[in-house]
Amino acid sequence: MRAAIYRTRITHLRRAPVHHYFEHRSYSWFVDLDALPRLPRWLRPFAGFEARDHLWEAPRDTLRGRVDAFLAGKGIDLGGGTVTALMQPRVLGHVFNPLTLYWCHDSNGVLRCIIAEAHNTHGDRHAYLLPPSTDPPVMVDKKLYASPFNGVDGHYLVRAPEPDERLDVTVSLHREQQPAFVVTLRGSRRPAGIRQVLAMQIVAPLAPLMNALSTRVQGALLWLRRVPVVPRGSDERRAPVETVTRLDAGRRCPAGPILTRDPQETRSP
């Protein structure tokens, strides 16, 4: 598989306790962990794929080695099958990956499982292990403190099909059977050539840094709107950040839409 770049539109819709909507443009790389892009030396600062930015240390400390070690700890052996990933690379030394997705195939090309790796702005990370099908979406309990305006109560519904020409991922946080927060990641595929890599530095310059800054700005706006702050560690059910939602814990949700209205119709003034 040749690496690709998706030009993305990312939307965030908060439904409770206030309605708050924002969106921004960015991009993500779609790569084969056994064949990471080999860019010209002068272009490498704009797309760095480093093992230390994902999961946890492994005996073979590469991105692929970390995925294999993670899965081995859960009793899963891909037998050398392909692992594809959607992620943000390092750009000029900056990295920020709120969500990295890995599609893990066995040696026959069959999708065995999906890893959804979440990071927060404090440097914590957590990996959710999902079953191979996400249609209907998979339900997993929230484990990572990802925002000062959300505790670790509730559960996610995750829909993350492996992308082709189009990328279409939805993650929604639910409490009391209602969606409190919904994120969508959508985009179109382009070949990861030199021209496209350079174009992304114009379309979304310093993407990891700007995405992290956007998150903090929106947090400040929520604070100004008096959304209650949930201190870190205030929820006794908060799990250690290196624990894992096991494959057999993934639950299917009933079929039906995650969003009842298009985010554009609920845009905050």
Angle at 131 between CA 129 and CA 133, to 5 degrees: 135
**Residue 89, in any domain of the structure:** yes
How far apart CA 105 and CA 101 sit, in angstroms, is 13
**Residue 266, in any domain of the structure:** no
Query: Which residues make beta-bridge pairs with 83?
Result: 104
Token pair 């929520």 is at which residue? Answer: 222
Q: Is 240 or 166 the better-scoring residue by pLDDT?
A: 166
**Residue 54, in any domain of the structure:** yes
**Residue 122, in any domain of the structure:** yes
Q: In degrees rounded to 5, what are phi and psi of residue 29?
A: -95, 145
pLDDT tens digits, one per residue of 98-123: 899 999 999 999 999 999 998 877 77
Per the document, the length of the chain is: 269
pTM here is 0.80
What pLDDT, on a 0 to 100 scale, did the predictor assign at position 45? 86
What pLDDT, on a 0 to 100 scale, did the predictor assign at position 95? 83
Domain span holding position 66? 4-258
**Residue 267, in any domain of the structure:** no
The H helix count followed by the E strand count for the chain is 3, 12
Total Cβ atoms within 10 A of residue 254: 7
Cα torsion 238, 244, 248, 254 to 10°: value is 60
**Residue 117, in any domain of the structure:** yes
Tell me the mean pLDDT in the region 251-266.
36
Q: Which of these, 106, 101, 117, 111, lies nearest to 56 by C-alpha position?
A: 117
Angle at 167 between CA 164 and CA 173, to 5 degrees: 140
**Residue 268, in any domain of the structure:** no
201: three-class secondary structure by DSSP: helix
Q: What is the mean pLDDT of the chain?
A: 77
pLDDT tens digits, one per residue of 156-190: 889 999 999 999 999 988 877 777 788 899 999 99
Total domains present in the chain: 1
In the structure, what pLDDT confidence band is assigned to residue 62 with cuts at 50, 70 and 90? very high
Q: Which residues contact 41 (CB under 8 A, 6 or more apart)?
A: none
Check whether 265 has a pLDDT greater than 50.
no
